Chain A
Amino acid sequence: MTPLLQARNLSLPGRLMDVSLDIYPGELICLVGPNGSGKTSLLHALTGIGSPAGEVLVDHVDPRRLGPAQRPHYLTFLPAARDIAWPLLARDLIALGGGGAPPDALALDDLLDRRLDTLSTGERSRVLIARALAPKPKLLLLDEPTANLDPLWQIRLMELVRSEVRDNQRAALVAIHDLDAATRYGDRVLVMDGGSIAVEGLDGEPVARIFGIEKVAGAWRPVSPLADRRSSP
């Protein structure tokens, strides 16, 4: 099977170091890492923001060569920032993002004809997520999609993304801080550190070293200060 996304030697000066990555059809990949480890930079580079060096192919096409009419069918990007300056209608916002019908599972029927400034933060987030999903892109790039959502919607959203990806042989790369959600929903979990992909999977020592946390009796806790003191000079 050929990868849906082939990224080679992606670099953004000072933020992303030579990242290569393959994602296969049907895969949901979770991207975790401490603040400043390069998750957003990787999503930016795949989107073409900031003139990254390196190659990106989505289904054999370099999306950076596509204009606004085609690009949303190849990839869409949901940034972490959820503020929109203008009081657009939810329906218009989705149309500006490349159109298409938002997934029923987001339950937007009552929100579509409302202005963004009349929505709650969570409702607005659902509309912005719908904007990224509606064009049915081959590759979904989501930065912290569950931020601002209540627990039920966090679960619904991640399950929606997983089924969209699996049922239609598309792919998603999701940056997320919740390590348990990453393990639960991700077909693979990539851990970023210092601008590159440090390790795959969340088991054992590398995670403790990168995040400074460890799992004790089923809960994440800071790595014990005693162990810390012993390892530092």
Chain B
Amino acid sequence: MTRATALLLALALGGAFLASLALPYGDLAGIYRQDTGLATTLLIELRLPRAALALIYGAMLGAAGAAVQALFANPLASPDLTGTTSGAALGAVITAYIFGFAAPIALSVGSVAGALGALLLLLALAGPKAETATLLLAGLAISALAGALTTLALALAPSPFAFYDAYDWLMGSLVDRSLAQTAFAGIPAALSFALLLRLVRPLDSLALGEEVAQSLGHDVPSLRRQVVCLTALGVGACVAICGAIGFVGLVAPIFARRLTRSHPGRAILPAAMIGGILLLLADLAVRLAPLGRTLPIGVLTALLGAPFFLWLVAHMRWRVAA
């Protein structure tokens, strides 16, 4: 990635963030003219957490997606397709509705544990260097299992409103989160991101194959453990606050590698920036769409991401055929 590209991405990210704070502009300006204090409160307590969460979650999905793709040496590995986000959602649902711990910290812990469990199961099922088919099938199996268990947990929950309660969150939503909740997602995500950036070089070396990476002096088993734990930490913490949002973790790294001449490790930083931009834009689209009510953002990313995924699968098949 050249300096100019990095700058451009940073500008786009900053622009999307500011736009997310400012838009829709008319309402905020109108309130500001009547009540400055209220407008400030609106900006800081409603729009800021929402924009910040879009940025944090999008960036985390991008970075985690890039790291997981580098680890599995496969462009179709991503936190959602491999069942990590479903595992995290299951962890959070069990914590909240079965054990009855609704404190943000408890949700985060449950969610991270769920993500970690899903990733470890994936490693056990698919193996460290997974064929695309094995990886996707294992991910599908884990997602299906986690989804079914989530529904079961909600059905068995003591609260009769569990389903209704959880629905918006499960579909992925950034609406009405507090600054404190933002911190609960942001701090683990920032930690995970910073530590993932330390793995850029070893993950690039892994592009040469596991044997060569080891012959160069990289401890591949330890690298694998670190990527799994850091991804679970960052993605789990975000899912606990905002639910499962799909496809950003798949799409962002694929664009990012075009900027890093296919270096999978170096793609972590641009993937984070692209992921942040994508989710900020998706949130803006959800907010500005004239639908009368707000769509859960996860629905939009899935609506846009699924066709891209289909294209990707077809493209890979053509390439194999050719």
Q: Which A residues fall within an 8 A CB radius of B? A: 44, 47-49, 64, 66-68, 71-72, 75-77, 79, 81, 83-89, 92-93, 96-98, 115, 131, 141
The answer to whether B261 and A92 have CB atoms under 8 Å apart is: yes
Whether a CB of chain A sits under 8 angstroms from the CB of B262 is: yes
The answer to whether B216 touches A98, judged by C-beta atoms less than 8 angstroms apart, is yes
CB distance from B30 to the nearest CB of A (A): 51
5 more A-B contacts (CB under 8 A) besides A49-B211, A88-B207, A96-B207? A47-B211, A49-B215, A86-B262, A88-B261, A131-B208
Residues in B with CB closer than 8 Å to A48 are 214-215
**C-alpha spacing A115/B262, complex, angstroms:** 9
Q: Which residues of the partner chain B approach A84 to less than 8 Å between Cβ atoms?
A: 207-209
B73 within 8 A of A: yes
CA of A93 to CA of B201, assembled, Å: 13
Q: How far is the CB of B289 from chain A (nearest CB, A)?
A: 37
A67 touches B217 (CB 8 A): yes
B205 at the interface (CB under 8 A from A): yes
Residues of A within 8 A of B214 (CB): 47-49
Q: Which residue of the partner chain B has the closest CB to A85? A: B73
Whether a CB of chain A sits under 8 angstroms from the CB of B218 is: yes
Closest 4 CB pairs of A and B: A85-B73, A77-B215, A79-B211, A71-B217
A177 to B225, CA, bound (A): 37
- Alpha-carbon distance A49/B215, docked complex (angstroms): 7
Residues of B within 8 A of A47 (CB): 211, 214-215
* Cα–Cα distance between A106 and B162 once the two chains are bound (Å): 66
CA distance in complex: A17, B204 (Å)? 34
With both chains docked as a complex, state the minimum distance between the C-beta of A156 and any C-beta of chain B, in angstroms: 23
Contacts of B264 in A (CB 8 A): 85-86
Residues of chain B in range 180-223 having any CB-CB distance to chain A below 8 Å: 201-202, 204-205, 207-209, 211-212, 214-218
Is the pair B216, A68 in contact by a Cβ cutoff of 8 Å? yes
Considering only CB atoms and an 8 Å cut-off, how many residues of chain B contact the other chain? 21
B202: A residues at CB distance < 8 A: 68
C-alpha gap A76/B213 in the complex (Å): 10
Given A85-B73, A86-B257, A88-B261, the answer on whether A71 and B209 have CB atoms closer than 8 Å is no
Which residues on B sit within 8 Å (CB–CB) of A72? 216
Listed by A's residue number, 16 A-B pairs whose Cβ atoms lie within 8 Å are A47-B214, A49-B214, A64-B217, A68-B217, A71-B215, A75-B215, A81-B209, A84-B209, A88-B261, A88-B263, A89-B261, A93-B208, A96-B204, A96-B207, A115-B262, A141-B215
How many Å lie between the Cα of A181 and that of B202 in the bound state?
36
Asked if B208 and A96 sit within 8 Å, CB to CB, the answer is yes
CB distance from B15 to the nearest CB of A (A): 30
Smallest CB separation, A92 vs chain B (Å): 6
Q: Quick one: given A92-B263, A115-B262, are A85 and B207 in contact (CB under 8 Å)?
A: yes
Contacts A79-B209, A85-B74, A96-B204: A66 and B257 contacting too (C-beta < 8 A)? no
Contacts of B216 in A (CB 8 A): 68, 71-72, 97-98
**In the bound complex, what is the Cα–Cα distance between A97 and B201 (angstroms)?**
11
A80 to chain B: closest residue by CB:
B211
B206 to A, closest residue via Cβ:
A85
CA distance A81 to B210 in the complex (A): 10
- The distance in angstroms between the C-alpha atoms of A22 and B304, with both chains bound, is 61
- A67 cross-chain contacts in B, Cβ below 8 A: 217
Residues of A contacting B211 in the complex (Cβ-Cβ under 8 angstroms): 44, 47, 49, 77, 79, 81
* A44, A68, A71, A98: most-surrounded residue (chain B CB, <10 A): A68
Bound: A49/B221 CA distance, A: 11
Q: Which of B208, B257, B261, B263 contacts A97 (CB 8 A)?
A: B208
B66–chain A nearest beta-carbon distance, Å: 12
Residues of A within 8 A of B204 (CB): 96
Q: Chain B 132-147, CB within 8 Å of chain A: the 1/0 string?
A: 0000000000000000
Assess the A76–B205 pair: CB atoms within 8 A: no
**Contact across chains for A68 and B262 when beta carbons are under 8 A apart:** no
CA distance in complex: A5, B208 (Å) = 25
How far does the alpha carbon of A154 sit from the alpha carbon of B48 in the complex, in Å?
A: 64
Closest B-chain residue to A66, C-beta based? Answer: B217
| Cβ contacts under 8 Å, B261 to chain A | 88-89, 92
**In the complex, A97 Cα to B209 Cα: how many Å?**
11
Say yes or no: A68 contacts B263, CB within 8 Å: no
Which of A47, A66, A75, A96 lies at the interface centre, i.e. has the most chain B CB atoms within 10 A of its CB?
Answer: A96
User: What is the bound-complex CA distance between A96 and B201, given in angstroms?
Assistant: 9
Separation of A48 and B211 alpha carbons in the complex (Å): 10
The distance in angstroms between the C-alpha atoms of A71 and B201, with both chains bound, is 15
- How distant is the Cα of A59 from the Cα of B202 in the complex, in angstroms? 26
Question: A20–B37 Cα gap in the complex (Å)?
Answer: 80
Bound CA span A67–B264, Å: 21
User: Which residue of A84, A88, A89 has the most chain B CB atoms within 10 A of its CB atom?
Assistant: A88
Complex contacts, B257 vs chain A, CB 8 Å: 86
**Which residues of chain B have C-beta atoms less than 8 A from A71's C-beta?**
215-217
Distance, CA A141 to CA B261, complexed state (A) = 28
Given A77-B212, A97-B212, do A86 and B217 touch, yes or no (CB 8 Å)?
no
Q: Considering only CB atoms, which chain A residue lies closest to B205 in the complex?
A: A96
